[in-house]
Amino acid sequence: MEKNDTFLSDLLTTYKKLKLSDANEAETRKKLIDVVIENVLGWTTDDISYEERVSEDGETTYADYIIRTADVSILIEAKRLGSTFYTVPEKKKVKLSTFSEDDLTGKAIKQAREYCRKKSIPFAAVTNGSQWIIFPAVRTDSVSFSDSTALVFDSIERILGEESSHFRGLLSRDGVIEGNLALELIGRKTDQFDERRLNKFFKGISIKKENPIYPLIEGAVVSAFSDSIVDNDNSILEKCYVKNADRKKFDNRIEMHLQKREPLFNSQPKRPMRKRESSSLVDSINKASHNKKPLAILILGTVGTGKTTFLQYTRRISSASFFEQKEKQPYPHWIEIDFRTFSKNENPLDFIYDKLFDYIKTDKFFCDYDRSIKFAYEKEINSLKSGPLFLLANSDEELKKRITDLLIADYQAIKPYVDKLIGYASKLSPIFLIIDNVDQFEDDFIQSEIFSDSIAIASRLGINLIIAMRESTFINHRSSPTFDAFDFDPLHIEPPEIPAVLSRRFFLTGKLLEGKSGEFIALNGANFKVEDLSVFIDIVKGSVLGTEVGEKIDVLSNHDVRLALRMTREFLARGYTDPAKALITHKPEKRYTLPKQEAFRSILLGNQSVYSEEYSVIGNPFDSRLNRSNTELLRIFVLSALVRKGSSNGQGYIEGQIIRDSLKTIGFSETDTLAILKDLCTLRFAHTKSHGKADINSSYFASRLGGHIIKSLIGDFTFIENILMDTFISEKDQWEQLKSISSSIQEERDIVRKINQRIDRIKIFYELMISQYSILLSEATKRGLDPIWLSNPLIEMKDTLWSNCDKAYASANRIYGENAQK
């Protein structure tokens, strides 16, 4: 503090000396303004450009200071101390129209504004070292320059004294990066005002065509490719269940190590998807009858890995004989409570008891008075007979009526009836309470209530408890008293191999359609009859498994079986527009492969006619959604660094704090960084090492999907063509070009000319993205960031994309051009 006071005192002394000596502009800048910019406001020499050339119409001048980060720029026009500023308003905030263009202050402001206009710099300040006037020089909204507000700091004494916090908060490096200057001068931190996304102008113009054969195969597809096969009969469940885990550690296609998250437990949990440990849960169930203490098991896995399917397979296939109902003796019970049907308005405890009650009402053992009910209430009935009902001992009918009243009262109250019957039955045979899908609501309080209520019921009634949840849910709650006080045995469900899952589902679909016939309207309008619909499934299967389409489903699903099944259903419904051609061409000796680009486009679009991140299974790496043009490519910038880290060695993690510091070095705030990291995780481009939510204290690694984005998909014709439709186009000239070309594409009938226009649109978009990314790369290079930040993946994939464009044009020309075979 004392050192800072000395510095400020020395600076004021310097100012007074300069003022007394009537210092010129150069001396004012060197001894006063430079010190304020660098030492008071904290800008570095990497941020500041001195005497930068400003040229227009053959005339060249030089700007005194231009301060730049990757996100924002400010021009500072310096004047000498003394009589330069004749007009300095007394108010701190004034309209720019207040300044007359005839006096030196107004002229200085006008000069700074012109420099800013020529260099596309949004903010400016004019200063003589003591007085500072700060204003928005170039606006992209509808507010005129004269109606804009300037901030006036009228003396160095105030700037270093009572107004120091305000001055630094606005103009310091940290303050500008946080958006304080923009917020004060224009009322917002964003600069994307117009709606410059192509999907807002061309949505719905092209009709999304359905695969004409799909209505004939829809029933079989829905049955076989259902998100959950647990609703099907046991034979289908057994045929579709995949026991092998996806254990790939390195992706050769993109040459990237596939990272694993850190272990959740000190000792390795059992992994039933591994052959050696496949019977882990079954073995525990079989031993339950002999255990003195009930089981408590956690089933953990990521989203869509098949936790519910694993539990159902265990109950209905692996342990079917164990849970077989017997007429003459007690038998084990598997009572599953699925929280997918739970409402936030319900009480978790009531929900659990209602489901237990539903089971009791339908189970043969619990419905039988002589097998369960009379023994469950025996102790209480005997107590009543020897106590309150003693005087009715000789009246058998009245005694039975009173006992019936007791049973009915408990039955209607539900909880006491459930406690009595479940508590009794648990002494005779193992009862398993299965709590599934507790993470349907991202509400920690509700989840905590479910856990504590489930554990309390299991403990009180002496029954075995199995809880299935996502790993991230467990992370959020593992330190809570509920979990801490209960000794769980964890089982880790690893994701199965997606190609194996798809193979089994295609096999089942074919079997369901085998021998079935049907008719549909072909692309040319003719009726097309199919003798055996399973032949079309064979064609699709051959076009997916082991092909580029199958690999894309595998990559895009990112281990999420549910998502892989959804994508497959989508392209079966909308991905192929000419199945008749496939059926005509396909022969045993001449196999036909369906167009891969149609399938991929359908996967990207889902049920929409044009790509939108909101509805697609894959996010947009080209638009950060922060509503500022300079932040637009931050997703791909951070993801590229993560991918490079994963490609360089086996330890491909980057700490969140390092990512934050790196982005701050080039001019982005911690708020920006956290938003990007959260998006990358939500979109499955990256993961936290700890399984937890994205925050600055986490470490991050690129997912396999993220690796393919950077090293493959940004060079893919279909991917870029669709993604560009939902990307904000910041440059007006390119926006007008893209809009015009898109209109021409809609109107063009000639297929070859249309593909040429589509290629032009892709190239204009891609070159714009390269130029925007180059700004980030330039700032990172200038500031000496780690080499993992110093590459432009768009330039690296440009040749691949251009080559794919050439192939698309050659293919269209070969099939539809003038020399095509008719």
Statement: residue 262 has pLDDT above 80: no
* Residue 393 belongs to some domain of the structure: no
Q: What is the pLDDT of residue 762?
A: 97
How would you write 360-387 as a 3-class SS string?
Answer: HHHCHHHHCHHHHHHHHCHHHHHHHHHC
CA–CA gap between residue 27 and residue 100 (Å, rounded): 27
- CA 390 to the chain's CA centroid: 68
- d(CA 119, CA 257) in angstroms, rounded, equals 43
Per-residue confidence (pLDDT) for residue 426, from 0 to 100: 92
Written as six digits, the tokens of 416 are: 């006491």
Better-scored residue on pLDDT, 609 or 780? 780
3-state SS, 142-174, equals CCCCCCCEEEEECCHHHHHCCCHHHHHHHHCHH
- The answer to whether residues 662 and 794 belong to one domain is yes
Average pLDDT across the chain, whole number: 87
For tokens 């110093």, name the residue: 790
Which one has a higher pLDDT value, 280 or 376?
Answer: 376
Q: How far apart are the first and last CA of the chain?
A: 86
Quick check: helix, strand or coil at residue 519?
strand
Residue 293 lies in a domain: yes
pLDDT of 228 over the 80 cut = no
Among the candidates 442, 462, 492, a domain finishes at 492
Q: Which long-range contacts (CB under 8 A, 24 or more apart) does 350-357 make?
A: 352/435, 352/450, 352/453, 352/454, 352/457, 353/414, 353/415, 353/418, 354/414, 356/418, 356/422, 356/433, 357/414, 357/417, 357/418
Pairing between β-strand 527-530 and β-strand 489-492 as defined by DSSP bridges: unpaired
What pLDDT, on the 0 to 100 scale, is given for residue 352? 95
- Predicted confidence at residue 760, as pLDDT, reads 97
Same domain, 509 and 456: no
CATH number at residue 284: 3.40.50.300
pLDDT beyond 80 at 217 = yes
Confidence band for 83, pLDDT divided at 50, 70 and 90: low
**Residues 561-584: what's their mean pLDDT?**
87
**What average pLDDT score do residues 191-209 get?**
74
Identify the weakest region by mean pLDDT among 123-137, 263-277, 522-536.
263-277
Same domain, 30 and 164: yes
Among candidate residues 703, 244, 272, 258, the one with its CA nearest the CA of residue 501 = 244
pLDDT value at residue 822? 52
Q: What band does 577 get if pLDDT is binned at 50, 70 and 90?
A: confident
Q: How far is CA 65 from CA 41, 42, 68, 166, in A?
A: 14, 15, 10, 21
Do both 558 and 438 map to the same domain? no
In terms of average pLDDT, the best of 6-10, 113-117, 187-191 is 113-117
Residue among 442, 418, 433 nearest 467 (CA): 433
Q: Are residues 81 and 125 in the same domain?
A: yes
Task: Identify the domain containing residue 17 by its residue range.
Answer: 2-186
Q: What are the strands, taking DSSP E only, across 183-295? A: 250-251, 256-257
Q: Convert the pLDDT of each residue in 280-297 to its tens digit.
A: 878 888 877 777 788 888
Q: For residue 249, what pLDDT band results from cuts at 50, 70 and 90?
A: confident
Q: Is the pLDDT of residue 211 over 80?
A: yes
pLDDT above 70: percentage of residues in the chain: 93
**Which residues 6+ apart lie within 8 Å of 278 measured at CB?**
243, 272
Whether residues 40 and 179 share a domain: the answer is yes
Most confident listed range (94-98, 99-103, 202-206):
94-98
In sequence order, what are the residues at sequence separation of 6 or more whose Cβ sits closer than 8 angstroms to the Cβ of residue 195? none
247 assigned to some structural domain: no
- Its pTM stands at 0.84
Written in H, E and C, the secondary structure of 641-701 is: HHHHHHHHCCCCCEEHHHHHHHHHHHCCCHHHHHHHHHHHHHCCCEEECCCCCCCCCCEEE
CA angle 65, 71, 77 (to 5 degrees): 15
268-282, 328-342, 793-807, range with the lowest pLDDT: 268-282
Q: Among the three residues 492, 513, 536, which one is the final residue of a domain in this structure?
A: 492
**Number of structural domains in the chain:** 4
Q: Are residues 484 and 501 in the same domain?
A: no
Q: What is the mean pLDDT of residues 809-821?
A: 82
Residue 638 shares a structural domain with residue 753: yes
Provide the token pair at 750. 């000639």
Q: State residue 205's pLDDT score.
A: 44
Is the confidence at residue 276, as pLDDT, over 90?
A: no
pLDDT computed for residue 531 by the predictor: 92
> For the segment 731-779, what is each residue's pLDDT rounded down to a tens digit?
999 999 999 999 999 888 899 999 999 999 999 999 999 999 999 999 9
Q: Which residues are CB-contacts of 612 (< 8 A; sequence separation ≥ 6)?
A: 199, 203, 725, 726
Residue 84 clears pLDDT 60, i.e. is over it:
no
Q: Is residue 386 part of a domain?
A: no
Is 191 contained in some domain?
A: no
Q: Of 474, 492, 510, which marks where a domain is finished?
A: 492
The verdict on residue 50 lying in a domain is: yes
Is the Cβ–Cβ distance between 557 and 302 less than 8 Å? Answer: no
797 and 704 in a common domain: yes
CA distances from 2 to 8, 36, 803 (A): 10, 19, 65
Same domain for 483 and 504, yes or no, is no
| Rounded Cα gap, residues 645 and 203, in angstroms | 38
Q: What is the CATH number of the domain that holds 23?
A: 3.90.1570
Indicate if 275 and 424 belong to the same structural domain: yes
666 close to 774: Cβ distance less than 8 angstroms: no
Is residue 207 assigned to a domain? no
Q: Quote the crossing angle between the two packed helices 670-682 and 656-666, to the nearest 10°.
A: 130
Q: What is the pLDDT of residues 106-116, one digit of tens each?
A: 888 999 999 99
- pLDDT per position as a tens digit, 443-492: 888 888 888 899 999 999 999 999 998 888 888 777 777 665 567 888 88
Residue 88: band (very low, low, confident or very high) from pLDDT cuts 50, 70, 90: low
Average pLDDT over residues 25-45: 89
Which has more confidence, 209 or 75? 75
Report if residue 653 sits inside a domain. yes
pLDDT above 80: residue 572: yes
pLDDT at 304 over 50: yes
pLDDT score for 448? 87
pLDDT-derived band at 661 (thresholds 50, 70, 90) equals very high
Q: Are residues 118 and 25 in the same domain?
A: yes
